[in-house]
Amino acid sequence: MAHVPESLKKYVCVHCSVTHAGTPIHLDGGEHSFEPPESCGACGGSEFVPASEWIHHHK
């Protein structure tokens, strides 16, 4: 069976709009889920929106 690469989940900081790669969390079966970082590396903010929902996000 061929390996299918997982898609990386991205998160956008609500305060400064910097995009971050999600932190991979290992699941059973070799799969991963992704969580936003604890804080933004650019501004220190702690509120993130999945990049796929950014266009629909309103402050």
pTM for this model (two decimals): 0.79
Question: Is 10:50 a contact under the CB 8 Å cutoff?
Answer: yes
Does 34 fall in a domain?
Answer: yes
Q: Does residue 40 lie within any of the structural domains?
A: yes
- Model confidence at 1, pLDDT cuts 50, 70, 90, reads very low
Number of domains in the chain: 1
In whole angstroms, give the CA distance from residue 55 to residue 17: 11
Whole domain around residue 43: which residue ranges?
A: 10-56
Give pLDDT tens digits for 13-51.
999 999 999 998 888 877 888 999 999 999 999 999 999
Q: Residue 58 pLDDT > 70, yes or no?
A: no
Asked if residue 29 belongs to a domain, the reply is yes
Beta sheet of 48-50, edge-to-edge order:
19-21, 10-13, 48-50
